[in-house]
Structure 1
Amino acid sequence: MECKISLERLSESQHGQVKYASAFVDEHIQEISLEDGHLRIVHTSPNGDEAIRERVERLIERFSKGDFGFKENVLFRNEVSVPYNGDIIRELVESKSIKVLEPGLFIFREPFSSLMRFLDYSFVTKIANRFQVKEESYPAVIHSETLNKTNHFTSFPEHIHFLTHLREDLDVIESFSDSIRATGGWKDELPLDLNATMPKPKFTMNPSTCYHCYEGLQGETLEGDGIVVTAVAKCHRFESKNHTDFGRLLDFSMREIIFVGKPDFVKENRLKSIEYIKELAVEWEVDSLLEIANDPFFTNDFQVKASFQRNQEMKYELRLTIPYLDKSIACSSVNFHSNTFGNAFDIKVGKRAAVTGCVGFGIERWAFAFLAQYGMNEADWPASFREQYHAWQQKSL
């Protein structure tokens, strides 16, 4: 079945956000796209078109509340005439540099895997190390209670991958094993009574690197003006049919630089990081822009939260152009959280709650976007990038 829903109540700049959110309205949606001011949805839902329409209309109402439009606000633009315009994903698959397990889930092989390691090395040496930074290492899972303190359950509930296990009960474990054996292995239609066999999840997959930093500082009082921490972690976000979009991964690597301390300390370091990112974009000759942005909140108060973020300039994104798609994707973000996490985790500087900010680099996104502009032939890469990459390769031998 197919239905088309008018988006005339929304500004054009909001169409992408409602398309993203609409992917979650029904698990039977097979395809979703924007066409001439309409949302086109192909589905096999037993609830029928009307149920799909009603749910999407609820989202449109949510996005249209208030006098607020997502106007473009570009703070920096680095326009570069790049040499490549091909379908880089197809080329990477055909060359077996990546293996697609399912939309948004990849195995990365050489040379793509080396490019990822080089990019992460560069973000540390070129940007993180310009601060008095401390390196930390985080797990890929996070306590549900920790995630609750970040308000992730209420702001981005659609993203969450819950983790659980079989109950510590011999009968449950043996019954589960016997049922798998009897059906000839794991099958999608295997009947499982989750309440009977598995406890309430204590952990989820971690959706953001910086959460572990705040968890690790819980109840502490920082000395001086504050601290700067860097870490790279595997992050996980379920994004439904949006995983078919370029760069939207189910499992991805996020390098972050995290500022925790007094307001001026965090704000000043955040501004410095913006300048460092702009310098890097120019040095590496990536076609890009830096703009004010907002998170894709999945809540009834979306407009309030998104408007506040934009008006207070709490989030910037560096977007790299994807020439063959004639679009751009966010590869880095620079965020200011005020004292939200300082209060949530009881982190203090003196007697006041600490404020926080972070800079994120999506490693896979940077690699995909760079190759989308310059291709796999290293001779076509910008001289500065190519020389640094080769120097890193020699150093890594």
Structure 2
Amino acid sequence: MECVVSLEGLVSSQHGQLKYAASFIDETIRDIRLESGHIHIVHDSPKGNAAIEEQVRKLIDRFSQGDFGFKENILFEHKVDTPYEGDIIAELVERKIIKVLEPGLFIFREPFSSLMRFLDYSFVTKIANRFAGITEEQYPAVIHCDTLNKTNHFTSFPEHIHFLSHLREDLEIIEAFSQSIRDAGGWKQEQPLDLNANLAKPKFTMNPSTCYHCYEGLQNETLEGDGVTVTAISKCHRFESRNHTDFGRLLDFSMREIIFVGKPDYVKENRLQAIEYLKELAVEWNVDSVLEIANDPFFTNDFQVKASFQRNQEMKYELRLTIPNINKSIACSSINFHSNTFGNAFNIKMGKRNAVTGCVGFGIERWAFAFFAQYGLDEANWPAAFREQYHAWQQKSL
């Protein structure tokens, strides 16, 4: 079946957000596309078109409610006539450089895997290490539900969450499960045993963002001086439904962050300095890019209020790199200011007041995808500065 709904009343800047959110309407959706002012949803839902349309109209109402004066502004733009215009994903798959396990879940081989390591090394040495007193931390790939609750992630981005569980600590349940697998001839998606009744209530989820562990680690502490700066890289996980078929939307990805926690001036000044370092790097590496005011894709009925507040207060910037083949750009780095949201949530003190926080994030796989999408796999076509730095890193890594 195909459900077609008019987008009348929804500004064009919100069409992409609607398409993204519509993927979560029903598990049977097979395709979503925007054409001629309409959204087309191909599905096999037993609920029928009327139920799908009702949910689409709820989303349209969510994203178009009120005029909050979205503030759009480009802070920096570096335009480059890049040499590669092919389908880099198709080429990487054909040459077996990446192995697609399922949409959004990849195995990365050389030279993609080397480029990822080089990019992370560069973000540390060329940006993070320029901040005085910075320290590096290592975080687990899972996070406690109680910790995630303090970040408001459950209410702001519930669609992303990957819960972790295990069989209940009951020998009868464990043995029955094992026997059911044997009887079925191996794991099947539809198990004869009711997993819902036999899985323990989740205590953990996969970590959706690197910086959350930093705030958890500073909980109930009083910081000295003006604040602290930390860098860390972590595997992050976000479920994005059919959006994993979009360029760069991964189920499992690597996020390097630089995290500022301290007095307002300390965090704001370091954040502004990070923006300058990032702009310098974009020019040095000659990547086609734009730095602009952005907002998080809040999955809540008060989306417009939250998103407009972020934009108008300039709390989030994104460095977007162009993907020439699809004539779009993807966010590869974000620069965020959280005010005292996390300082309050985790009781992180600066004297008698709660700390404010900010962070700079680098999506390692996205940077690699975008660079290859602009310059291809032939190193002879790479920008000279990037190529020289990459070769110097390779020699150092031998």
TM-score by length of 1: 0.99
How far is 1:4 from its partner? 1.3
**More displaced stretch, 252-261 vs 192-201:** 192-201
- In 1, the alpha carbon distance for the partners of 2:197 and 2:103 equals 31
- In 2, the alpha carbon distance for the partners of 1:253 and 1:124 equals 14
Letter of the aligned partner of 1:153 in structure 2?
A: F
Q: Secondary structure at the match of 2:30?
A: strand
- In 1, the alpha carbon distance for the partners of 2:365 and 2:206 equals 18
Hey, what does 1:34 align to over in structure 2? Answer: 34
After superposition, the CA RMSD in angstroms is 0.8
Letter of the aligned partner of 1:246 in structure 2?
A: F
Hey, what does 1:89 align to over in structure 2? Answer: 89
Q: Secondary structure at the match of 2:320?
A: strand
Name segments (4+ residues, structure 1) moved above 4 Å. none
Whether 1:194 and 2:181 are equivalent positions in the alignment is: no
Q: Secondary structure at the match of 1:222?
A: coil
Deviations, residues 220-252 of structure 1 (Å, cap 9, x unaligned): 000000000000000000000000000000000
- In 2, the alpha carbon distance for the partners of 1:67 and 1:390 equals 51
Q: Secondary structure at the match of 1:201?
A: coil
Whether 1:111 and 2:111 are equivalent positions in the alignment is: yes
**More displaced stretch, 63-72 vs 293-302:** 63-72
Is this contact kept in 2: 1:13–1:70, CA < 8 A?
A: no
Is this contact kept in 2: 1:14–1:69, CA < 8 A?
A: no
Hey, what does 2:295 align to over in structure 1? Answer: 294
Letter of the aligned partner of 1:382 in structure 2?
A: P
Superposition pairs for residues 375-386 of structure 1, below 5 Å? 375-386=376-387
- In 1, the alpha carbon distance for the partners of 2:193 and 2:101 equals 25
- In 2, the alpha carbon distance for the partners of 1:238 and 1:59 equals 19
Whether 1:281 and 2:282 are equivalent positions in the alignment is: yes
- In 2, the alpha carbon distance for the partners of 1:191 and 1:42 equals 30
Whether 1:357 and 2:358 are equivalent positions in the alignment is: yes
Is this contact kept in 2: 1:11–1:69, CA < 8 A?
A: no
Deviations, residues 294-335 of structure 1 (Å, cap 9, x unaligned): 000000111110010001000000000000000000000000
Superposition pairs for residues 22-61 of structure 1, below 5 Å? 22-61=22-61
Deviations, residues 241-286 of structure 1 (Å, cap 9, x unaligned): 0000000000000000000000000000000000000000000000
Q: Secondary structure at the match of 2:248?
A: coil
Q: Secondary structure at the match of 1:298?
A: coil
Hey, what does 1:214 align to over in structure 2? Answer: 215
- In 2, the alpha carbon distance for the partners of 1:373 and 1:71 equals 29
How far is 1:195 from its partner? 4.2
How far is 1:73 from its partner? 1.5
Q: Secondary structure at the match of 1:296?
A: coil
Whether 1:231 and 2:236 are equivalent positions in the alignment is: no
Structure 2: gaps of 5 or more residues: none
How far is 1:192 from its partner? 3.8
Hey, what does 1:158 align to over in structure 2? Answer: 159
How far is 1:168 from its partner? 1.1
Is this contact kept in 2: 1:13–1:71, CA < 8 A?
A: no
Is this contact kept in 1: 2:336–2:358, CA < 8 A?
A: yes
- In 1, the alpha carbon distance for the partners of 2:268 and 2:71 equals 24
How far is 1:196 from its partner? 2.8
**More displaced stretch, 108-117 vs 196-205:** 196-205
- In 2, the alpha carbon distance for the partners of 1:224 and 1:182 equals 63
Q: Secondary structure at the match of 1:10?
A: coil
Is this contact kept in 2: 1:236–1:251, CA < 8 A?
A: yes
How far is 1:31 from its partner? 0.7
Deviations, residues 86-113 of structure 1 (Å, cap 9, x unaligned): 0000000011110000000000000100
Superposition pairs for residues 363-378 of structure 1, below 5 Å? 363-378=364-379
- In 2, the alpha carbon distance for the partners of 1:73 and 1:49 equals 39
Q: Secondary structure at the match of 2:188?
A: coil
How far is 1:199 from its partner? 1.2
TM-score by length of 2: 0.99
Hey, what does 1:4 align to over in structure 2? Answer: 4
> How many residue pairs end up in the alignment?
397
Letter of the aligned partner of 2:258 in structure 1?
A: I
Is this contact kept in 1: 2:72–2:311, CA < 8 A?
A: no
Is this contact kept in 1: 2:180–2:192, CA < 8 A?
A: no
Q: Secondary structure at the match of 1:29?
A: coil
Is this contact kept in 2: 1:222–1:261, CA < 8 A?
A: yes
Superposition pairs for residues 119-134 of structure 1, below 5 Å? 119-131=119-131, 132-134=133-135
Is this contact kept in 1: 2:70–2:312, CA < 8 A?
A: no
Superposition pairs for residues 230-309 of structure 1, below 5 Å? 230-309=231-310
- In 1, the alpha carbon distance for the partners of 2:74 and 2:309 equals 18
How far is 1:179 from its partner? 0.4
Letter of the aligned partner of 1:290 in structure 2?
A: L
Is this contact kept in 2: 1:128–1:230, CA < 8 A?
A: yes
How far is 1:171 from its partner? 0.4
- In 2, the alpha carbon distance for the partners of 1:217 and 1:188 equals 41
Q: Secondary structure at the match of 1:148?
A: helix
- In 2, the alpha carbon distance for the partners of 1:259 and 1:39 equals 41
Structure 1: gaps of 5 or more residues: none
- In 1, the alpha carbon distance for the partners of 2:340 and 2:201 equals 31
- In 1, the alpha carbon distance for the partners of 2:64 and 2:252 equals 31
Hey, what does 1:63 align to over in structure 2? Answer: 63
